Structure 1
Amino acid sequence: MSGFHQADERRFLDERGSSVSVAPNGLNPATIMEKAVRERIVDSYFWKEQCFGVNEADIVDRVVEHVSCIGGTTGTTQKPTPFLCLALKLLQLAPNDDILKAYLQHGGDKFKYLRALALFYVRLTRPAVDVYTTLEPFLADRRKLRRKGRAGTQLTFVDEFVDDLLVKTRVCATSLWKLPQREDLEDLGKLEPRESALGDIDEILDEEDEDDKEEEENEEDDADDDEESEDEEEDDRQADKRRRQDTDDTGDESGGRNGLANDRRDVRRRTPASESESDRSRNGR
């Protein structure tokens, strides 16, 4: 009977303490997923119809034909996605590194969910060093993915999914085993320092600091120029005000002199007229 497949694959779960070989990271593949999630998977229609008698080669066909999103459980009934069902099937099949490499090397949008499934399986079953060395190159994959969960369908990308696998503790309704910090593995000499696709991070930060300093200096120079221009404008206004005052004072003095001259001319005009009148009065007498 060992060569026959059971429709619900419960034997894999029932033998979790006996004949099931542990994963490369030392975990029991039959207990990596929570019991409630495993029970929903083996009771689902997709598992019973599409995952019965499937081998490593058939996984590729199942992913291409039926997987259109990543995710764990969906809806109020917490129905498992085909992605999660096939992940449990991989835990049962336990493919070797060569098969996983073949999964990861498939390119194009047709096989992007196969790559996501393989990356998810690597995170579940491989040691920390293998997880970092396998997943980090795919942080440059910018292809779009659909993520389906209880809140509905959302848009994500392969690199975001990889980042979630490296930093989060729960992805696709599955609790991930604690991954050591990369810096700790570098200190132990198990990993080489990661080279970012952007270049040397320290150099980028130094350049940004220099740019910020130049901007601050330019802003200070602009502020000084504005203050100087304001001082010059104020000096011009004071000079104009003084010139107007001087003009008004000069106008008042000239106006006073002109008034005195006019008074003198009036006196001279009136003086001959008064003298002629006195002469006429004397002659008449």
Structure 2
Amino acid sequence: MWGKNSANVTDTTAISVHGTNPQNLVEKILRSKIYNHAYWKEHCFGLTAESLVDKAMELDTVGGTFGGIREPSHFIQLTLKMLQIQPEKEIVLEFIKNEDYKYVRALGAFYLRLTGRPAEVFQYLEPLYNDYRKLRRRLASGEYCLVHVDELVDELLRDEYVFDLALPHLPKRHTLVASGLLTGPRRSALEEDLNELIAEEEAAEAAAKAEAKAAAKAAAKEQKAAAEAAAREKEAAAASRRPPPPPPPPPRGRGEMERHGEEGRRGEAERRGERRGERRGRSPDRGDRGGRGGRGGGRSYSRSPSPRRRGRSRGRRSPSSSASSYSYSYSSSGRRSGSGERGGSGERGRRSPRR
């Protein structure tokens, strides 16, 4: 039995917490203020674990003391009542798991932080990091501010003085993991969302890399096309600076063309005459008499009488006639013209009067 038998004593069935009376977790000065407060006397007298839930559902703020006289809030008075009656652990866990009333959850979390073991505190309070609902908090100045449930839970796990109460010492989490009281690091409910976010970021980064690679390829292609265009322009400029080709030779006149054709025909006739003389065993210089049709090719040949004919003329003709000679010439048209003492004019059959 704790102290005297009165309305402010701890329940007889309560067990000690951290080696002392559960109500001693609240400082004596604060306990005295709570015992003398009207809310404690009117609403907290004779509460049980079942009726305490109704009072917790009526809460609208969280906090310790406020104002100039450091008046205790309803939240801290219900916390002291829970320490006095010491409800069962299942009821406290139901307070923490309550998702409909956020102030009931905050009250159960604060009570578990005061009375629970370190491993239980981490085990049941860490899931509350996923609760982002807003709470109204009464400050020491009497003003109100908004705080989220996850912020309040983080404050309970990290700080040693909350709501004007000194919290029991809580070892670090890695110490509990090393001692085997906790298994592994804390797994957040946001881990799946974080993994999805990381996957989306990686996909976006891969898409950005692919887009950058495609843009680089397009830029390289454009640069290559620009280089080819510049090379073509350079070649065109070089071609424009080249000297113009020489003008074609002027067209030949008709007389010049006829002259060149005549020279070609004469050269051909000479070559034919030379070949004919070689075949007959004659000297090429003697030439040929030529014939009709212009075989001479326009070249003139001289003819002298043979010695036999020359002897006959000695006997029959006068000396003047023996010295007669004939000469023939061929024009380009192939006609023969002769001249000599016999004919004078070159006509055949005309003789001198002396004959």
TM-score (norm 1): 0.64
Q: Aligned residue for 2:166?
A: 175
User: Rg larger in 1 or in 2?
Assistant: 2
Report the Cα distance in structure 2 between the residues aligned to 1:39 and 1:3, rounded to whole angstroms.
Answer: 17
Residue 129 of structure 1, aligned match among 119, 122, 136: 119
1:165 equivalenced with 2:156 (yes/no):
yes
Letter in 1 for 2:33: R
- Give the direction of change, closer, same or farther, for the CA distance of 1:200–1:103 in structure 2 (3 Å limit): closer
CA 201–76 in structure 1, closer or farther in 2 if over 3 Å, else same:
same
How far is the alpha carbon of 1:102 from its aligned partner? 2.5
Matched, 1:97 2:67: no
> Aligned letter for 1:138?
L
Shift of 1:60: 1.1
| Contact 1:120 1:165 (8 Å CA) reproduced | yes
Q: CA deviation at 1:92?
A: 0.5
Identity of aligned residues (%): 36
Aligned to 1:37: 30
With CA pairs under 8 Å and 6+ residues apart, which has the higher RCO, 1 or 2?
1
**Structure 1 residue 63 and structure 2 residue 53: aligned?**
no
Structure 2: distance between partners of 1:139 and 1:124:
19
2:140 to 135, 150, 155: 150
Q: What does the per-residue CA deviation read over 1:131-180, in whole Å, with 9 as the maximum and x for residues that have no partner?
A: 01111111111221101021310001111111111111111111111211
Instruction: Give the residue type in structure 1 aligned to 2:24.
Output: T
Distance in 1, Cα, partners of 2:133 & 2:162: 19
CA RMSD in angstroms comes to 4.2
SS at match of 1:179: coil
Gaps of 5+ in 1: 222-285
Shift, 1:200, TM fit = 7.8
Superposed CA offset, 1:104-124 (max 9, x none) = 33331xx22111111100000
Conservation of the 8 A alpha-carbon contact between 1:27 and 1:125: no
Cα distance in 1 between the residues matched to 2:6 and 2:164: 30
User: What are the Cα deviations for residues 250-273 of structure 1, in whole angstroms up to 9, with x where unaligned?
Assistant: xxxxxxxxxxxxxxxxxxxxxxxx
Q: Secondary structure at the match of 2:135?
A: strand
The alpha-carbon deviation at position 19 of structure 1 amounts to: 9.1
Relative to structure 1, the CA distance from residue 85 to residue 107 in structure 2 (aligned partners, 3 Å threshold; closer, same or farther) is same
Report the alpha carbon displacement of residue 70 of structure 1 after superposing the two structures with TM: 0.4
Q: Secondary structure at the match of 2:55?
A: helix
How far apart in 2 are the matches of 1:206 and 1:96?
Answer: 43
Q: Distance in 1 between matches of 2:97 and 2:129?
A: 14
- After superposition, the Cα gap between the structure-2 partners of 1:209 and 1:184, relative to the gap in structure 1 and judged at 3 Å, is farther
In structure 1, what is the Cα distance between the partners aligned to 2:50 and 2:114? Answer: 20
Provide TM-score, normalisation by structure 2.
Answer: 0.53
Amino acid at match of 2:15: S
Deviations 1:217-271 (A, max 9, x none): 9xxx9xxxxxxxxxxxxxxxxxxxxxxxxxxxxxxxxxxxxxxxxxxxxxxxxxx
Which residue is equivalent to 1:74?
66
User: Please, which moves more after superposition, 111-120 or 30-39?
Assistant: 30-39
Judging changes above 3 Å, is the alpha-carbon distance between structure 1 residues 79 and 3 closer, same or farther for their aligned structure 2 residues? closer
CA gap 1:181/1:41 in 2 versus in 1, 3 angstroms = same
1:83 maps to 75
Q: Alignment partner of 1:147: what SS?
A: strand
Structure with more of its chain in helix, by fraction: 1
Structure 2 runs not aligned, ≥5 long: 214-355
Q: Could you tell me how far apart the structure 1 residues matched to 2:39 and 2:81 are?
A: 12
Q: 1:91 to 1:136 in 2, by over 3 A?
A: same
Q: What secondary structure is seen at the aligned counterpart in 1 of 2:69?
A: coil
| Secondary structure, aligned partner of 2:191 | coil
**Paired residue for 2:16?**
22
Which stretch has the larger CA shift, 27-36 or 52-61? Answer: 27-36
Q: Quote the Cα distance in structure 2 between the aligned partners of 1:4 and 1:77.
A: 26
